[in-house]
Every structure is written in structure tokens, then in C-alpha cells.
Amino acid sequence: MGSVNVLTRFLDCTDSVESESLLEQLVWEQSAPVVEKIVASKIHGPLGEDVRSEVLADLISRLREWKQSGEREEIVDFRAYSAVAAYHGCDGHFRRLFPQRHRLENQLRYLLGKHVRLALWQAHDGKWTCGDKTWRSRQPLTTVHRKITVWASSRAAARVVEKILDESGGQLPFDDLVEQVAKHWRISDHAAPPGEDYALPTSSVETKLTQRGWLRQLWTEIIALPTTQRSSLLLNMRDESGDAALPLFPATGVANLSQIASVLEIPVGELERLWDGLPLDDLRIAARLGVTRQHVIDLRRSARLRLSRC
């Protein structure tokens, strides 16, 4: 059965049990394989799993909103729609991780949107391509012209982009153009070390003291989270070097072991036994909570999302 037919049936369905079954079919049979393949090709390890979960959670939320509101988006291919959502999810991840590169991407989109001869367009699978306007197989999407900080004069930037695209001899993936321009202008970001949750740098007592106000506010917000989200977040929380970040709370006087144990809803003695082994990996946290590893990732994602809104 085609994904569009399943989508239509889901939106029209009035039976709650059948509706949930159709939703699961849409997400896990149609969307999940596409999203997983795209995200895995761009982001490796636990961070990729987080992005995958975020994309699928967003798709589920959108589907429920459409059903509740009665709105209908004209979707010809739900798998293709899911692919676009996956690319957007990856873009959002890199935007947070590489702000300078993101600014460069915006500037190149702006330049290509105004250029007389060159253009930027999006393929059906969500991939962005650029090149001479005579090369494109479809009209480019509308470009949002926004005020930006220019990294080079527009004329100099245009010359660099023109040279790269002319030498390519055809269409060029937009990511490749960004990479080549970044190398030319020596624009780079330094990504944070691999890990899933980070506190601010903790290299000195002075740094820890300056963090105290921030940590106190963070602790107040963490206390308000559901228990499973608190455990998924705190037991895996890492600092910028990948070490356990939970000891920051007693080190700065924000919360002692007894208070942390209370928030985690475990005996102090059990927390002391866990202390030297922190941060715990997702499998160990999952075993403690009696859930799957993916559920732990989803819980932590939900916790971070709630904290970001506070």
C-alpha cells in the first residue's frame, strides 16, 4: 500500500485504535528507514541516533497536528517528505555544532538567489544542488533574502563561487560548494568532542564558580522533569572533555549527594557505588529503568527539549 494512501487513511480514520496502528505504519515502515539511512550517512554514533529520534518525533507531532486540525498538506510521496525532514534535521544539528559554517551557507544561499547566471535548487529527495541556471531541471525554491554579515565583498565572493561551479563542469551538491568556499576563505568551526550531554568547561575552580548561577538554574529546571527524563539526562551528562558532569553540582555547592540521589529516586549508597563509573552509557541506564536503549535516547532528547524552552 502506498504511503500516501496510508496517510490519507490515517487522517480520515475516526477509530482511535486503528488510527494509532496507521500512524505506526507510516512512521516505522515509511519514514524510519528513510530517515535512518540519511542521518547515518551524515552523522555517526549516538549524536546521529539523537537526530534520528528528533526527526521522527517531529514527524509524529506534525501528523497528529494535521489530524487534529483537519489541515491537509499536499504530499505526493510521504517517503520523500520524510527525506526532506531528515535533511532538515541534519542541517539543524550542524547549525548548532558549526555556527560559522551555517553563516557561510546562508551567505551562499543569498548570493546564489540573487546571481544573474547561477542558481540553487532542491531536488525531489531534498538534496540541494547549485550551478548554472541552464543546468537545472526544475525551478529553484524561493530564496529568503536576509540581512547578513558579509565574509568577503559580494564581488569577490561571486568570483570564487563562479570559478568553483564553472570548473565543476555541471551541477554541484551545495554541501560541496560550501566545503570548497570554506577552505578557500579558511572558515572553520571546532566541534565539541563526541558525547551526548555537556556542561560548560570545567578546567578550573574559577570557571566552576562562574558556572554556579547557571548550574543552580539548570538544577531547578531538572528537578521539574519527570523521573525517567532526569535519570536519562543526569546519569549520562558529560562535560566538554567527555567526563562525568554530574560531580559539578556538589563541587559548586548547588546540590549534594543526598539531594542528587533524591532527584534520581535512588538510595545515597547506590549513587555512591555508581559515582566512579559515571557517566553511564545508554545500555546501563536502560537496564536500570527497564526500557530500551532507544527509549533512553528519546527520554534524554525530550528532557533537553523541555530545558531549552525554560
Tell me: pLDDT of 202 over 90.
no
Task: Kindly state the average pLDDT of the residues 299-306.
Answer: 82
Contacts of 192 (CB under 8 A, 6+ apart): 97, 198, 240
Q: Which residues of 32-55 are buried (b: 16+ CB within 10 A; e: fewer)?
A: bebbbebbeebbeebbbbbbbbbb
Q: Are residues 178 and 213 in the same domain?
A: no
Q: Are residues 215 and 299 in the same domain?
A: yes
pLDDT digits (tens, 9 = 90+) for 103-133: 788 788 888 888 888 888 877 666 788 888 8
Of 96, 120, 145, which residue sits at a domain end? 96
Tell me: pLDDT of 34 over 50.
yes
Question: Does residue 200 belong to any structural domain of this protein?
Answer: no
Of 96, 128, 149, which residue sits at a domain end? 96
> Residue 307: exposed, middle, or buried by beta-carbon count in 10 A (0-12, 13-18, 19+)?
middle
Question: Does residue 190 belong to any structural domain of this protein?
Answer: no
Cα-to-chain-centroid distance, residue 7: 25
Q: Are residues 10 and 91 in the same domain?
A: yes
CA angle 149, 201, 96 (to 5 degrees): 35
Question: Does residue 81 belong to any structural domain of this protein?
Answer: yes
Question: Does residue 123 belong to any structural domain of this protein?
Answer: yes
Q: Are residues 51 and 135 in the same domain?
A: no
Q: Are residues 14 and 72 in the same domain?
A: yes
Of 60, 76, 96, which residue sits at a domain end? 96
pLDDT at 261 (0 to 100): 92
pLDDT at 201 (0 to 100): 35
- DSSP symbol at 117: S
Task: Kindly state the average pLDDT of the residues 199-207.
Answer: 37
Question: Does residue 233 belong to any structural domain of this protein?
Answer: yes
pLDDT digits (tens, 9 = 90+) for 38-71: 988 888 777 787 788 888 888 888 888 888 877 7
In the beta sheet, which residues pair with residue 121? 129
Question: Does residue 191 belong to any structural domain of this protein?
Answer: no
Q: Work out how many domains the chain is built from and give that number.
A: 3
Please name the helix (run of DSSP H) or strand (run of DSSP E) that holds residue 122, with its range, or none.
Answer: strand 118-122
The answer to whether 279 and 238 have CB atoms below 8 angstroms apart is yes
Which value, in Å, is the radius of gyration of the alpha carbons in the chain? 23
Confidence grade of residue 11 (pLDDT, cut at 50, 70, 90): confident
pLDDT digits (tens, 9 = 90+) for 213-247: 677 878 888 998 888 999 999 999 887 667 788 88
Question: Does residue 303 belong to any structural domain of this protein?
Answer: yes
Question: Does residue 192 belong to any structural domain of this protein?
Answer: no
252: containing domain: 205-309
Q: Which residues of 291-306 are buried (b: 16+ CB within 10 A; e: fewer)?
A: eebebbbbbbbbbbeb
